[in-house]
Structure 1
Amino acid sequence: MHDVYRGQEPKHWGTVIKHMLGGPDPIDGISAYQCFDGDREHLHFCTYGYTSLYYDEEAVGSDYSRFGFEMTFRLATPLPPSEEPIWVCNLLQNIARYVFESGKWFEPYHWIPAGGPIRADYDTDIVGLAFLSDPTIKTVYSPHGRVDFIQAFGITQSELDSFADTKHTAEELIESHRKTNPLLITDLSRKDA
């Protein structure tokens, strides 16, 4: 992220007690950078915790660093934002809980329903997530192995239903959105079709 946003100090949220020390949150930290690319002001979030954050002699030379990815998310918002987007941190921590508890991870073109709006107590039609390779952050190779950056993109109920009916795939949906939204920025005001 630092290579993409040189010189910008991100907003950062960290856990009080790190996961490796018994803390309840699996992600040790989440940073958000202000981004003006993609013809839309947005915050670009990145997690720290799916990969090996601390030196682990036993993991040196592995193919992948722990789960092999960090999660990103882009939220459409005027910059600077008028409120702290803590709800995004909660969303990203909830996704991480699923991964850490199930041992299942996300790859490009996977998708999940959120069981309701992705932002609790907020009027939005965005009720699920599709995943893609982050379009601006390249794979990195650490001493513990490869790290990919998987971006979550907010989707509507009719889009989720189209996967269940096998009318469309997540790849088709993402590539369709990419034509007008190349960075796949999630806009909570986007309405269901």
Structure 2
Amino acid sequence: MDDAAENAADNLSPGWDAITEAFDHLYPGREPRHFGPLIRYSLGGPDPLDGLSAWKRLEPVPHWHIVTYGLSELYAKESDDPEVSGYGFELTFRPTCDPAEEEPPVWALNFLQNLARYVFQTGNVFRDGDWMPINGPLSQESDTALRSIAFTADPELPALETPSGAVAFLQVVGLTEDEERAAKQWKTSRLLDAFRPKLPLLVTDLGRTSLLADPVMSQQVEDGTIRDGSSTGYLLTDILRWTGRKRLLRAPDYHIILGPRQVDEFTRLLPLRLPFDRPLLLVGEGGDGQSRVLFEPGERDAVVEADDKLVVRLTPATARALGETLKPHAGDYAVPGLPISFTIELAAIAA
């Protein structure tokens, strides 16, 4: 083989090589445990990732450092955006381990495959600061309290520039359900920063309890939330509809029907968004204009119909009053002077 052929062969997987090189710098001279599918996804295999590599380390706490191969473009450039490689990121994960452990946990490898499968099937990408409920324990083999995850930049791996574009390393961090609520109400990055002294390198420990059980930590998070407001700009609801009724010589009267499941979150987020000059969008399962309501800060209370949603502008005082009025119980609610009435409606149970 001549030099040109050798160079061509060496460049068949530039994206893969860039990821490997980043970890070679972090773990010089060490070979990872590597796992690949029997049949590649592009050839009909069930697993979307082309591979996962895992390095065991004992400091600052024993854990595995796992990385995915396949959410970025590992081989040739195929996507349209020249600045971004594939989905623009690979996932990393740091589950804790016993110092004597020789193999990374199978549940962690499967979990990363499932996250990649979600991205491949939906086209939805993860970003630094995102959070996501898992609707169950991170590992089905454990009764862990970790039932949600957050995404943050891996603290030891800067983003890469590859021939196919930029690739970020997004670390998956396990959260309890109350920690997820705190991330929504405050800001994921700020919450994780508060956790770092107790979770070095933001490892995921299936055996831990909520860090918010510590009164000092809980107060720190509460103080930060009140100080900074919330970074969550939208809230998905299982029930959301609105109607408008014109009235002779008077402003239209509006009625919003909302499910009880998100009332607590809505009333908690409203004063953490509007007083900070940030809107809050409610989106129902229908996704059309009749199931989208945008709450905005305003100098006076007002309601207007837009093409794809209802826009409700509230003064800080009215926003507080609305938050204090709505309860997560079926019934009708109103704030004096506000041309909107609310009904909290229970979801129908299928026969």
Q: TM-score, normalised by structure 1?
A: 0.91
The match for 1:184 among 194, 202, 219 is 202
- The CA distance in 1 between the partners of 2:83 and 2:101, in whole Å, is 38
Q: List alignment gaps of at least 5 residues for structure 2.
A: 1-22, 214-351
2:30 alignment partner in structure 1: 8
What are the within-5 Å matches in structure 2 for residues 129-148 of structure 1? 129-148=149-168
Q: Is 1:27 equivalent to 2:49 in the alignment?
A: yes
Residue 195 of structure 2 aligns to a residue whose secondary structure is helix
Larger CA Rg, structure 1 vs 2: 2
SS at match of 1:87: helix
Q: Give 1:44's aligned amino acid.
A: H
The code of the aligned residue for 1:146 comes to: A
TM-superposed CA distance for 1:104, in Å, is 1.0
Cα distance in 1, alignment partners of residues 122 and 34 from structure 2: 27
Whose relative contact order is higher, 1 or 2, with alpha carbons under 8 Å and at least 6 apart?
A: 1
Against the structure 1 CA distance between its residues 60 and 6, is the aligned structure 2 distance closer, same or farther, given a 3 Å change threshold? farther
Shift of 1:20: 1.8
The 5 Å alignment of 1:1-193 reads 1-37=23-59, 39-56=60-77, 58=78, 62-81=82-101, 84-164=104-184, 166=185, 168-192=186-210, 193=213
Same amino acid, percent of matched pairs: 39
> Which whole-Å CA distance do the structure 1 matches of 2:55 and 2:68 have between them?
12
Q: Whole-Å Cα distance in 1 between the matches of residues 207 and 126 of structure 2?
A: 25
1:181 Cα deviation from its structure 2 partner: 2.4
The structure 1 segments of at least 4 consecutive aligned residues displaced by more than 3 Å after TM superposition are 58-61
1:146 alignment partner, SS class: strand
Q: What's the secondary structure of 1:76's corresponding residue?
A: coil
Question: What is the RMSD computed on CA atoms of the aligned residues?
Answer: 1.8
AA of the residue aligned to 2:205: D
Deviations 1:5-55 (A, max 9, x none): 111111111011111222121111111101233x20110000000011112
**Partners in 2 of 1:134 and 1:163 — Cα distance?**
18
Q: Structure 1: any 5+ residue segments left out of the alignment?
A: none
Letter in 2 for 1:30: L
Q: CA deviation at 1:59?
A: 5.2
Change beyond 3 A, Cα 1:189–1:160? same
> 1:136 and 1:169 mapped to 2: Cα distance?
21
Distance in 1 of aligned mates of 2:172 and 2:81: 28
* SS of 2:95 mapped into structure 1: strand
Decide which moves more: 41-50 or 75-84: 75-84
- Size of the alignment, in residue pairs? 189
| Cα distance between partner residues in 2 of 1:130 and 1:190 | 16
